[in-house]
Structure 1
């Protein structure tokens, strides 16, 4: 069924021109970060450099990013393993929100994140210990894996758009293929028991990010006989993030990303390629550069920042999503995975005229987006642990902060349109967005 957007719906991201720029810049960022770390060279042309010299330097730097058979096996094998585990591991069945595109019917989701996470890590450890697949192999073939991720990200997006259009399944048709393909034309694509959007958003990026960082640590141990405190920090940071996505997947089916955002290039490319292959910049930089003279007190302070930010991030997300689920009568017992204060007993909330409920308890009595603030603090810590000799390891924070600010603005505009005067009352009750008393 094809759903034509209402004429008054505004374009996002600057319309067709804006999304074309985003697509181009995304590819430049992916390979620019690769060049700046792998080839220890700037991806930009210097003022006193000829174009011929620049092209030669870039060509030499990109030689390691050729798509090889080994790189394909690593990347495609990872996708296949996580897809099979996501499709068939046992988990809790959670009902999503009613979908207008399905005439009000709600889909059910197999939320098996903990089982997938434990099974994948067990398999990864077994392969490494048996000498079948060294953890360091991902670093040995990183450039090829990166290029294959670009090919898969672009290819899956194009194939998804073409398939939906050819089968008359497109749920968006503005008459502008590039814009529609970027934003997505299908909401809940599935292949048998596998929900492609849940898999691509929760399994692929965060597990692969952890694997790449673990590979960097393993490579450093192979070559230097030790793992630096800074690279150990990145292993911890990426483990915590992947672990949070695994244990909290039962909260995701009712979120905006699942019931509203279509599966297009924006989600596909960044989940299959952008997130895991660029968010690892700090890990790869630490493998290539020794951090000299960092005071132990400074290192300890960044560790403390990470752990404090993660606690707020984890418990705030749990409070918000468990509140939503339990008000809908959905209880998934994952107490073994919860941190203290993750679930609120008898939480306070603001009832809206339309029947909605806005949480005003726990962290959400103090700020409207405490989980965003904690996410920003984590992003900053990933760069801070590397020091300030190079901007490259700070890439994630430089990208993430503007993105999350834009997302907070989108959230506010959407909620203002949805709740009207009730949203104004909610903002008066909880006036701060990110940090109480600050902003």
Structure 2
């Protein structure tokens, strides 16, 4: 019994060691090493190795393939750098488009970021410019440059995050700015919540919305046109590649929905809770366009056209459109309730809410509402459920020809399940027993009766 009084101290020491060394240093370092190599490796396998995973795994080896991928990069490729710089410049211009002014959720220290609702306008104008240009000019060579573009995005993203880190240290913007003095963690997680470039350019919106996501759209369009040039136009086959066309349309539907409801995104965990560092900034610069476009890149040369025709395309497009619409509906229900302070109708009935209170960083008690109507009475994260179902539908055009098109679904599954746990912890810390009350009334996170 002599050592018993020291036990809590030892546990606390172990907890601090885990938090400081593993969770805040080694884990971020591991992620920052693995993710850049992963997206370049996969792009190289698809474009250069013709998606031959078996050869890479059992003949060439992953190490040799990855080495070849980095050696093949042409860092002075002006065309790739022009795409990156052009999208950044166009994104900055779009943030000055006229639109309805609105605010993001307040931070614990009382700051509320201002935005202009111009996302959908940006998307429509960008598509009206991009689609005719991609159709008119030959861009098959750009398909073969995708690994090179991704390598440049990787380096650009790392450099951008260095600038973000220095900016947060030297001249942070209003809102939350946390510095832990752990350089690795601060670089990975970020130090600012709402970094800006001047008064009108939100760096989060610029990189997340106007750069990374639309670059995903451009790669999807490039893949479709590359397939057209490679097979249909070259060999005068005259038929539609339904698997790739369906995938391209699903990407467009998903992103059109996102830009149309961009104000809902600004209330999400990414926009209103997570700091802006490698995790978000580099992720949107390089990982989103590099990893999310795997389906499109794979289907350029490996579409199962004999087994996926018009009927299959219509079924998949209908399901994808339905899940995208339902995701939009779930987000709008929550946003509408917040905007009206619980004085609105959902599904034809007055909303039910919990009038919750929380204490901000200055000890001031504030009030908000926790929605318990509509989809938010079915499960606590039905938006995540429909998001996951949409990700599953995105895999369907590839059938079971390869595991590559299913990588995004696997990633989104892990991301969403982890995010439900993060959201649960964040809400419990904020609302305490009032959140416990909501969880008793709505016991399931995503799937009623299951999870």
Same fold (TM over 0.5): yes
Q: Deviations over 1:59-88 (max 9, x none)?
A: 5555654331111112221222122112x2
Deviation of residue 293 (structure 1)? 4.0
Partner residue, 1:302: 316
Q: Deviations over 1:171-209 (max 9, x none)?
A: 222221011110101121111211111222222222111
Partner residue, 2:362: none
On the 8 A contact 2:97/2:118 being kept in 1, the answer is: yes
On the 8 A contact 2:341/2:368 being kept in 1, the answer is: no
Q: Deviations over 1:2-45 (max 9, x none)?
A: xxxxx999669822101111111111211121122012244996
Partner residue, 2:230: 223
Secondary structure of the residue that 1:291 maps to in structure 2? coil
Distance 2:250 2:60 in 1: 39
Distance change in 2, residues 1:425/1:394 (3 Å): same
Deviation of residue 92 (structure 1)? 1.1
TM-score with structure 1 setting the length: 0.85
Partner residue, 2:156: 152
Partner residue, 1:314: 328
After superposition, residues 267-416 of structure 1 pair within 5 angstroms as 267-294=280-307, 296=309, 299-327=313-341, 346-354=350-358, 355-416=367-428
Gapped runs of 5+ residues in structure 2?
Answer: 1-15, 233-238, 359-366
Q: Deviations over 1:238-271 (max 9, x none)?
A: 1112111211112234443333221111111111
Residues 1:96 and 2:104 are matched in the alignment: yes
Residues 1:434 and 2:446 are matched in the alignment: yes
Secondary structure of the residue that 1:78 maps to in structure 2? helix
Gapped runs of 5+ residues in structure 1?
Answer: 1-6, 332-340
Partner residue, 1:70: 79
On the 8 A contact 1:171/1:185 being kept in 2, the answer is: yes
Deviation of residue 384 (structure 1)? 2.4
After superposition, residues 221-260 of structure 1 pair within 5 angstroms as 221-225=228-232, 226-260=239-273
Partner residue, 2:11: none
Distance 1:99 1:109 in 2: 15
On the 8 A contact 1:190/1:196 being kept in 2, the answer is: yes
Deviation of residue 234 (structure 1)? 1.1
Instruction: Supply the RMSD in Å over aligned alpha carbons.
Output: 3.0
Partner residue, 2:192: 186
Distance change in 2, residues 1:319/1:119 (3 Å): same
On the 8 A contact 2:140/2:225 being kept in 1, the answer is: yes
Partner residue, 1:176: 182
- Determine which structure has more spread, i.e. the larger CA radius of gyration: 2
Mean CA deviation greater in 349-358 or 197-206: 349-358
Distance change in 2, residues 1:134/1:250 (3 Å): farther
Secondary structure of the residue that 2:275 maps to in structure 1? coil
Deviation of residue 137 (structure 1)? 5.8
Distance 2:406 2:254 in 1: 17
Partner residue, 1:334: none
Distance change in 2, residues 1:43/1:23 (3 Å): farther
Deviation of residue 91 (structure 1)? 1.1
TM-score with structure 2 setting the length: 0.83
Residues 1:107 and 2:113 are matched in the alignment: yes
After superposition, residues 197-208 of structure 1 pair within 5 angstroms as 197-208=204-215
Distance 2:103 2:308 in 1: 50
Distance change in 2, residues 1:47/1:184 (3 Å): same
Partner residue, 2:8: none
Distance change in 2, residues 1:233/1:162 (3 Å): same
Q: 1:80 aligns with which of 83, 86, 89?
A: 89
Secondary structure of the residue that 2:370 maps to in structure 1? strand
Distance change in 2, residues 1:279/1:343 (3 Å): farther
Distance change in 2, residues 1:97/1:50 (3 Å): closer
Distance 2:368 2:69 in 1: 54
Q: Deviations over 1:38-58 (max 9, x none)?
A: 12244996466689xx63x55
